[in-house]
Every structure is written in C-alpha cells, then in structure tokens.
Amino acid sequence: MIKYRLVAAAWRGLTALRNPRRVVFPVIALALMVLGGCVQSPDDVSQSKPLERILAAGEIRVITRNNAHCYYFYREQAMGFEYDLAKAFAKYLGVRLRVQIADKWEGMIPSIMNRTGDFIAASMTITPKRRKQVAFSDGYMEIQQHIIVHRNNTTVQTLEDLNGQNIFVRKGTSYQERLEELQKAGVKLFIYRMADVPTEDLIRQVEAGSIAITIADSNIAQMNRLYHPQIHIADPINTTEMLGWAVHPQADQLRERINAFFREIKVNGKYKKIYDKYYTDIEYFDYVDLRKYHRRLRTRLPAYKKLIMTAAERHGFDWRLIAAQIYQESHFNPKARSHAGAYGLMQLTVSTARSLGVKNIYNPKPNIYAGVQHLKNLWDYFDQIGDTDRLYFTLAAYNIGQGHIGDARKLAQKMGLDPDKWTSLAQTLPLLRYRKYYKDATYGYCRGTEPLEYIKHIMIYYDILKRQAIEYATDPEKNPEIYTTQH
C-alpha cells in the first residue's frame, strides 16, 4: 500500500509541472523500481547485507547446541569446540560473540532463515538436503557416520547387519537422512526418530543396554567412547562427509569471511590448537585401562576424595586434575611403590617427602598434601609460562624432574624453537634419549617419551572426571553473552 501511495504522489507532482516530458521517464522508472521492490528500505539493506549489520552493531550471533562437543560450562567457564571456534571468528571480525542456544536441533535452520541468528556452528554435517535451505561454509572437519553398539553385540558390525534391526537416532539429523537412503536402497531396517534426544544420550543408552543400536559421527563416537568404554564403534554406513557452518542463503559476504577465517587459522595453527584441546587424544583407547579407571572412580576414589579436594583447594588446583594425576601415579593405591623408589598415592620420593616434612610416606593424608604442595612449587617455578603450557611443564617436571625440563628447554632454544611452549618440549624431550643430545645436557640421559605419555593419560583421566561437572543449563542473567531460543 505504501508503494502505491508513493507512485500516486509522484504522478500528481508530475502532472502539476509545465513541461512533464523532461521528467516523465525518470519518474516512471522510479515508480517501477518501487513497485518491483528494487528500492530497499534501511531494514531491507540490513537484511540483505548481514555482514555490514554485524560490523555496524559490533556483535555476531552464533546458533549452537548445548552439548559436550559444541558448547557447555565447566567451573563457570564457557567451553566447547564449536564455541572456541566461534569466539575466534568473532575476534577475527572484531566484534562481540552472542551465543544463541537452540532449544531443539530442528530449530537452528529456522533461526537462520528468520534471521534471529547469524550463523550455525553446531557440528552440522553438510548434506544436499540442507544445502537447499542454507548456505554452508567450506568444510572444516572430515567425519563419517558409524554404527554404535555394545561391546558384547557381535551380531551387528557391518552395514549389511542392519537388516531387520531397530535403530535409534535423533530426529532431523544427517543420521536419519542416511538411514532413509539405505531403506530406499533396500536395507530393511527400522528407524526410531527420537525427538531431540542428544546423540550422547543415545550412546549412553547403548552402553546401559536400553537400546541396541544408534548412529554417531566419528568425532562424537570417539569422544564418548572415553566416557562409555562399553560401547563399540562398528563399521561406517557412508562415505566421508564434512562439517560446516551454515548461514542465510543471501549472506554471501559473511560466508566468504568465514571461509577466509578457516583458511587463516588452519595456516597459523589456531585451528590445530583448538582441535587438540578437545580431540587430540580421542583416538587413544585402552578398553581394559579405561574400564578399570571407571570402576575405581566408584570403588577407590571416594575414600580419598575429601583429602584431594582440600589439598587442591588450598593450592588453587582443580581437584579433578589432582585425582587424575593420583590415578596415573598409583591407581588410588596408598601402598603403591615404584621400581624407581617412589611411594604412596602421589608416588613421592624419599627426598621429596623429607623436604616437605612427611614422616609416614604411605599415610594418604600427608602423602596427598605433600604431593600437591610439590606440584604447586613446580607451578610457581614456571610462572613465566602461559597457563596451558605451564600445566604441562609442571606435570612433566613432577614426572621426570625440573632439571630435565631445563635441559629440554635449552635444547629447544638451540634448535630455534620457543622454549616456553610445550609443543617445543614435546619435540626435544624425546631427543634426550640419544647420546648426540644428552651428552651436553646438564642432567644427562632422560626417558623423554615418558612425560608425554604421562601427561596424555592424566588429561584423558581428567577429562572423564570433568564431564561429571559439565553444566549444560545456561542462565542469561549470570552469563550475558548467552541467550536461549525455543522453536
């Protein structure tokens, strides 16, 4: 109606002119443009150029999911692989990140289409069906869908074994799409489409025996195998696919900036750093060890949990980190003794115990308190190192002594590597096994691969314990960068 009134007003002005021919064609052209929608209001321009709006507003809205691989809280700190990538992208653009939690998986694409969010970062697989709805960035992670069954299930291992089987998947996922394709191809399987039940929960149900089969992407499956060691990751049911971020089909400039961002962080190492934070050790799997660990968390840890919590709090450590280290040192056995002459829960040497005033080295309380004090002393010693690297330096020094760490740092500097980065020491510590390198070292030969394995295991054990404290509920009042949406 407004458009027609505008045209009518223009025509009235035209007829009032003495020589209307000079302006008749421009006015008619303007009228046609208005009627055709070629003249955009400021709101229309904002909608058609979302990148300009984002930069002008100084804020970008990411749509994601509240789960272990996208976005969650641990000790009141926002975390998650997708969240860290989105945070890095916001920094790349020079804007704030606003996190929008989709209440349902199916609600994410509608949020993009009605422009209540700017991009989806939620481990979303790029599929032909979704490409018809949204525009995807270039793929940033290769994944594959796998059959997930209980370890005792020996009858379902391959795609052909799915004939006649009941398979439970979350509704609206790429898993459902693939299973429906298999049905059309003649595989007689039965799909139970669960209304927004997280894949992680379906994996848990497989371990518990509540359901027999689900499907999960390889990254999700491998991550959850650490927490649910009774599951088995069987054969894939498709070829490899890619995860991508999704934007509105008209958001070409935003999509191009996302692609440029991913290209840059894959070159400068930022992507690898974020990837390693969440996925570096997921391919490691020792079923016997992890089953034993999960069992001893129930049977042995409770006896020492309060002591660990008290000692950790006194020195500013997460008690779960200390518990993970104790398990690596002694498997929660207070009478443990190593061939190298270390004793008790935290495997103190006699000299370290004596220096910290421990009289009964096997007594859990003084052993734990002294062990954590020793860890804190090492932490303070490496005060010039950035926090993440500092933790690895500290744990490595606890394992092999700070003298060897000093030798590895000197060697790193000699090789042109940054001596304050753990990635550098991960290269130089193993070299100290060879005479060519240790002959000039102050502390000589070192079993340099041992601290790498030591830290890897501790971080896996720590991650399993942390999962119990992950907060999935979000409170917009406590966390102003977050708001939720329901569909």
Query: Which residues carry out catalysis?
Result: 329
What DSSP letter does each residue of 20-75 carry, written as one string? THHHHHHHHHHHHHHHHT-SPPHHHHHHH-HHHHHHHHTEEEEEE--BTTTBEEET
What DSSP letter does each residue of 416-484 carry, written as one string? T--TT-HHHHHHHTGGGGSHHHHTTSTT----TTHHHHHHHHHHHHHHHHHHTT-B----TTT-TTEEE
Pairing of strands 190-194, 166-170: parallel
Query: Tell me, what amino acid is at 317?
Result: F
What does the alpha-carbon distance between residue 65 and residue 296 come to, in Å, rounded to a whole number?
32
Residue in 85, 116, 89 with CA at minimum distance from that of residue 100: 116
Q: Given phi > 0 = left and psi -120 to 50 = alpha, else beta, which region is 344?
A: left
What does the alpha-carbon distance between residue 265 and residue 89 come to, in Å, rounded to a whole number?
9
Hey, is 165 helix, strand or coil? coil
Its sign, for the CA torsion 181, 182, 187, 192, is negative
Buried residues in 318-355 as b, exposed as e (16+ CB within 10 A): bbbbbbbbbbbbbebebebeeeeebbbbbbbbeebbee
Pairing of strands 119-125, 59-64: parallel
What does the alpha-carbon distance between residue 157 and residue 234 come to, in Å, rounded to a whole number?
5
**Pair 379, 390: CB distance under 8 Å:** yes
Instruction: Indicate the Cα dihedral angle 278, 279, 280, 281, nearest 10°.
Output: 110
Q: Which residues pair with 142 in a beta bridge?
A: 242
What does the alpha-carbon distance between residue 412 and residue 52 come to, in Å, rounded to a whole number?
45
What does the alpha-carbon distance between residue 78 and residue 240 come to, in Å, rounded to a whole number?
30
Its sign, for the CA torsion 172, 176, 181, 187, is negative
What does the alpha-carbon distance between residue 311 and residue 320 come to, in Å, rounded to a whole number?
11
Task: Note the Cα 168 to chain centre separation in Å.
Answer: 24
Using alpha carbons only, how large is the chain's radius of gyration in Å?
29
